[in-house]
Amino acid sequence: MYDSTIMWNSFWRSRDRFSLDQLRYLTDQLTKVQVVNEVNKDFVIEALRSIAELMTYGDQHDPSYFEYFMEKQVMGEFVRILKLSKTVSVPLQLLQTVSILVQNLRNEHAIYYLFSNEHINYLITYSFDFQNEELLSYYISFLRAISGKLNKNTVSLLVKIRGDEVVSFPLYVEAIRFAFHEENMVRTAVRAVTLNVYHVGDDSVNRYISSVPHKDYFSNLISFFRKQSIDLNKLVSHTLINPGPDSTSTIIAAIDEIEDNLYYVSDIVSAGIPDVGRLITDSILTVLIFPLLLPSLRIAIDNDNDIQSGVVTSLYLLCCILRIIKIKDLANTIAAALFYPSEAFTKSFGGKFNSHISDYGFPSEYLVSNNHNLTKSDIRHSMFNVPHSSSSSGFHPEGVLMQNDCSNSNLSLRDVLLAYVTKGDDIQVLGSLSVLATLLKTKELDESMLDGLGILPQRKQHKKLLLQALVGESSGEEELFSSKSSLTRDSTGSDIDVYHDKIKDRYGISCQSSVVGNSPHVNRFQVIDALVNLFCRSNISAVTLWEGGWLLRRLLPYSESEFNSHHLELLKQVSALIQVSYNNCAAALVEEVKGIWTDFLISVLCDEWRKCKRAMESSSPPKEPNCVLLLPHPHYKFSLEDDTPKGSSFAVGERMQELVKVFVLLHQLQLFTLGRALPEQPPIDPTGDLPTNRRAQTSGLDASGPKAGTEISLAVNAVPCRIAFKSGKEHHFCFRAISLGISGWLVLAEELPSQKSHGIVRVTAPLAGCDPRIDDKHSTWLHLRIRSSSLPFLDPAKSNDYGRIKTKSLVDGRWTLAFRDEQSCNSALAMIVEEINILSDEVHRRLKPLLNLETAIDLSSTDLCVTEDSSNRILPKSL
């Protein structure tokens, strides 16, 4: 055996490290190695590492390096060394060396040489000990490096071909063995390998990967995704029962993994391999959509958490699939399936998956329960009661009501979504709206499918009818100038029937859907009615209502050219129904004028007005679908009738913001339905000339208000008092309450020794929300609540992405002022009450134009000439 000591001595003798001589020497030494063991493994490892460095250097500076590499068949030596190795460390270095060579060689001929013999395939198929995690990591990196060099020329060097067909492709086959490995880094690397293969664009390779047994990878991929979906649902169900401090972060991590997987599927589809797209479509439908997600969309009974979570998770996953995976056939098949009741999928798939799913929170029996919370009469009651004035009006009461005899068990899934909107809890409403909005935004969906669902945007509908009229199609011309302004049942229903036939013939699911028999404008009225009923509910959060507002704006007419008598009647009814909720909300807002945060009310209103306007006019819904899983549920409720929380002003501030959000939305919807432009700012009175405030005037303050260290007049109304901010350390101050415009302060000032009528401001606090109260036992003590000078949720640093304050331990401060006598204490109390009333009156004065809807409408009226790209849509004054 060759002496390893001689090896090392020779290795370190004086020689240029990056010379061709060094490469010759290392190669020569490797050829002399007859066994690799603990004695010489370090030399072999260092030689392999150095050869990688030398070859990278030579590729950039001297082609003779690679010529020598080829001449001496060094790749063959690498394979021989691997066979001789008895340790793990040498294979590790060998894989790293070859990976470095493949990644860093830029010469095309060099890459062709590496791939042109069977050495690379030998390394790919070699039986490494993958129990060693480090070795597996190096091996996967090796496969990824090779895949990065694939193109139509190089791929042919790594496959075996018989005739015109690929019969062996070790790189792909070995990579997908680890596609579902427990380590995320391994799975990520395998996905990179497969995507590099798919995007080569070689027809023979494409046929190979979509043939038996390799095509099973795609169905296995969707099965793996199904398991992740079930795990996500289990996590959501657990969070509903036992929410914890880490619940949100845990769900976000699961969501990220779910969406990463879908984007991977989307990347596969984007490679444009027809057979693969069909395989993925079939797998998604038969493994996930039909047996699991659609049957879960059923009316929950007795607020069962498992079923509740199954509904929420299914709604979210449907949105994700439609939004991320761009397959026309898949999108339209899912949409067509919404016309079926869940029973249709139970009969075909229920028995096959129940035993597996039931343990993870999804319903084990996909039968719609006979829940009387959502009855036929409820659904009928929620529909427009439209007077049938004439045959040309477009209103047909019998068409607006459900056509089918709808007991719960035969409600179509579309009807279930609308039932959630009108009767479901906050998260079910948001989830259903997210599905409808996602369908509306799915470009792969046929317009006839959207029209059949009742969610074709009015603008798209008008353009389509206009195009039909221009090309001389009589139906299009008639519909364009009729009051119905909707696609005909024949054109819409026939397109939907095509997909229903596909569902029956390909997947064995059949059902007679009576909803498809409705004319599209009837289905449209049902959706609009559900949305209007949503705005009449008081237990729905602003986040959800904004989502509904966005959808409603898409469905109503946008411009003068789209209006007719039917639209005017529709908008009039929408406005009348929303008016009740709007009035209740306005009344609650007036109460906030006297509330803890009255000094912030106008600024919050202006801020939310801009946000709401931007959200309503955006091309995308206000919230991402994952919001369905991240909002508090089911305890997070918003109600105008809720008692004001007494524990903390921060909770009251959050409630005030929520109220403002709802009021702003309803106000903007009212303006929209009444045909007025939406101004950039709410119609609030400007500052103007403030009424004379004696205390503010005599204090000598400017508009910025009192600040610590500034001088203030104490000549009028200042009341001496004592206060201890720390135990045993009492301070003597003069107290004043001052309001200026829509701001107000409690001021503690220290008298100037040289000028008793003036003092230096030492401490200030907000006047609003101070809740003054004389102590029951000590008539000279005045208790004041001291809230924050700002709203924490308006500061992004203090709030999370979902608007909730990060710190839950925020509490209000307290002052107890001690006065000389009872009269002084009562004087201070009266001063505070008077200044609070002045402040509230000024806020109310400025809000009057906004609270008076008729005044607001007049203020929002503008010229009818609107630029084509303007987001403000105006109802014409005359038709």
HEC per residue, 547-588: HHHHHHHHHCCCCHHHCCHHHHHHHHHHHHHHHHHHHHHHHH
What residues contact 718, with CB distance under 8 A and at least 6 apart?
734, 735, 736, 749, 759
Distance CA 186, CA 66 (A): 32
Distance CA 276, CA 289 (A): 18
Whose tokens are 């997947």? That residue is 507
3-class DSSP state of 722? strand
Residue 582 amino acid letter: Y
Distance CA 104, CA 777 (A): 85
Q: Give average pLDDT by consecutive 10-residue segment, the chain, 879 residues.
A: 48 66 92 90 93 91 92 94 91 96 90 92 95 95 96 95 94 96 95 97 95 96 96 90 84 95 97 93 96 83 60 95 96 95 80 39 38 36 32 31 43 93 93 96 92 83 58 51 47 78 90 64 88 90 94 75 58 80 91 93 95 93 91 50 58 92 93 82 76 65 82 88 90 93 93 88 94 95 93 66 51 93 96 94 92 62 34 29
Distance CA 97, CA 807 (A): 51
Quote the tokens at residue 817: 């002022």
What residues contact 630, with CB distance under 8 A and at least 6 apart?
248, 251, 252, 802
Question: Integer distance in angstroms from the first to the last C-alpha of the chain?
Answer: 103
Stated length of the chain: 879
The pLDDT value recorded for residue 54 is: 93
By C-alpha distance, which of 680, 695, 837 is closest to 772?
837
Helices (H) and strands (E) in the chain, counts: 37, 10
The pLDDT value recorded for residue 409 is: 59
What residues contact 214, with CB distance under 8 A and at least 6 apart?
172, 173, 176, 208
The pLDDT value recorded for residue 855 is: 58
Handedness of CA 32, 38, 43, 46 (dihedral sign): positive
Give me the helices (H) in 210-246, please: 216-241
Distance CA 386, CA 138 (A): 70
Quote the tokens at residue 459: 């603008």
The pLDDT value recorded for residue 388 is: 32
pLDDT in tens, 106-125: 888 899 999 988 999 999 99
Q: How far is CA 152 from CA 74, 196, 211, 343, in A?
A: 26, 11, 20, 49
Note if the bond before 634 is cis, omega within 30 degrees.
yes
- pTM comes to 0.82
The pLDDT value recorded for residue 633 is: 54
Note if the bond before 213 is cis, omega within 30 degrees.
yes
The pLDDT value recorded for residue 299 is: 61
Distance CA 499, CA 289 (A): 15
Quote the tokens at residue 649: 């002003």
Q: How far is CA 340 from CA 51, 281, 288, 309, in A?
A: 65, 19, 16, 22
Distance CA 488, CA 97 (A): 67
Which letter, b or e, does each residue of 42-73 get, where b requires 16 or more Cβ atoms within 10 Å of its Cβ? ebbbbbbbbbbbbbbbbbeeeeebbebbeebe
Long-range Cβ contact pairs of 73-81 (< 8 A, separation 24 or more): 74/27, 74/30, 75/114, 75/117, 75/119, 75/120, 76/117, 76/119, 77/27, 77/30, 77/31, 78/48, 78/119, 78/123, 79/119, 79/122, 79/123, 81/30, 81/33, 81/36, 81/44, 81/48
Quote the tokens at residue 129: 């000990």
Query: How buried is residue 736: exposed, middle or buried, by Cβ count under 10 Å (0-12/13-18/19+)?
Result: buried
Give me the helices (H) in 148-215, please: 170-176, 184-198, 203-209
Query: Do 386 and 532 form a contact (C-beta atoms < 8 A)?
Result: no
The pLDDT value recorded for residue 107 is: 86
Q: Which residue(s) pair with 755 in the sheet?
A: 752
Q: Are strands 719-726 and 813-819 parallel, antiparallel or unpaired?
A: antiparallel
Cα dihedral 827→829→831→833 (10° resolution): -150
By C-alpha distance, which of 112, 119, 191 is closest to 151?
112
Q: Which residue(s) pair with 713 in the sheet?
A: 758
Residue 266 amino acid letter: S
3-class DSSP state of 327? coil
Handedness of CA 479, 484, 485, 490 (dihedral sign): negative
What residues contact 377, with CB distance under 8 A and at least 6 apart?
none
Whose tokens are 């289905």? That residue is 523
The pLDDT value recorded for residue 464 is: 59
